[in-house]
Structure 1
């Protein structure tokens, strides 16, 4: 499977994820959250930033079942989903991941008919710190 490629701006995101925390880079001057991480705030142009924790709750904003799978290593998991999650705490921030049955579960662990736009989800992390998403219990 692919591993995240990190740079200096995004490295803290992955450090927190490996510790089981979802944090979002936020401008220390105007408090505007931003993703993807970058050195300068697009709202006020400040270079001051901090990493604020978020609840990890969100809604499925969009999804796709890549067919055929885009990379050969993923063919064994087809059909699998790729979802775009809009965070409840920061609605302008959208993260991409997979909707699975539990932390560390296979990409194809959730039946395709359970994936819906608007579904409430919660972040979980696999043992390597990769964010995944599970359906919230009603």
Structure 2
């Protein structure tokens, strides 16, 4: 057997061992107590996304539009330094009404990530906002995400503060 095949087999064996025999768990501090794990936080500061995160502190959902009149797709979301259609750096920040419809969703019954382990079941969704952009989010404030969420359902933004209130994440609930 050539050396590269043997190495590939060893790597595959190690990956399978990690996936099948070592489940994720909450971190344990040096006193042997479980540590509370927060949901993963965005990295700060990033110049391209800073206006978006600053707006979330005021509970404003913002998006960008391209200032080039010849651009065919003028709405920009997720935040970035340029228009992804025409490449111009000239963009304007706008505030969304925070209303839209569920494009699609999936209900997570069980999560292996420590921050989400006790949340199941919860809904991860793409929402088409009335201003013309789509964002990934969670649908919250429903009794049963399996039966209470429907594709095409009207939703509105609600805010979930994270950690010490440094940021708030936009979530959606039935309108």
Q: Structure 2 CA distance, aligned partners of 1:82 and 1:125?
A: 15
Whether 2:151 is the aligned partner of 1:111: answer no
Q: Structure 2 CA distance, aligned partners of 1:57 and 1:65?
A: 21
Q: TM-score, normalised by structure 2?
A: 0.66
Q: TM-score, normalised by structure 1?
A: 0.82
Say which SS state the counterpart of residue 78 (structure 1) adopts: coil
Q: CA RMSD in A?
A: 1.8
Q: Structure 2 CA distance, aligned partners of 1:21 and 1:124?
A: 10
Alignment of 1:22-33 (within 5 A): 22-30=61-69, 32-33=74-75
Q: Single out whichever of 23-32 and 43-52 deviates more from structure 2.
A: 23-32
User: Whose RCO is larger (CA < 8 A, sep 6+)?
Assistant: 1
- Cα 1:70–1:97, aligned 2, differ >3 Å: closer, same or farther? farther
Deviation at 1:28, TM superposition (A): 2.3
2:104 matched residue in structure 1: 62
Q: Structure 1 CA distance, aligned partners of 2:139 and 2:103?
A: 12
Q: Which runs of 5+ in 1 are unaligned?
A: 102-108
Whether 2:173 is the aligned partner of 1:134: answer yes
Q: Which runs of 5+ in 2 are unaligned?
A: 1-38, 162-166
Deviation at 1:62, TM superposition (A): 0.9
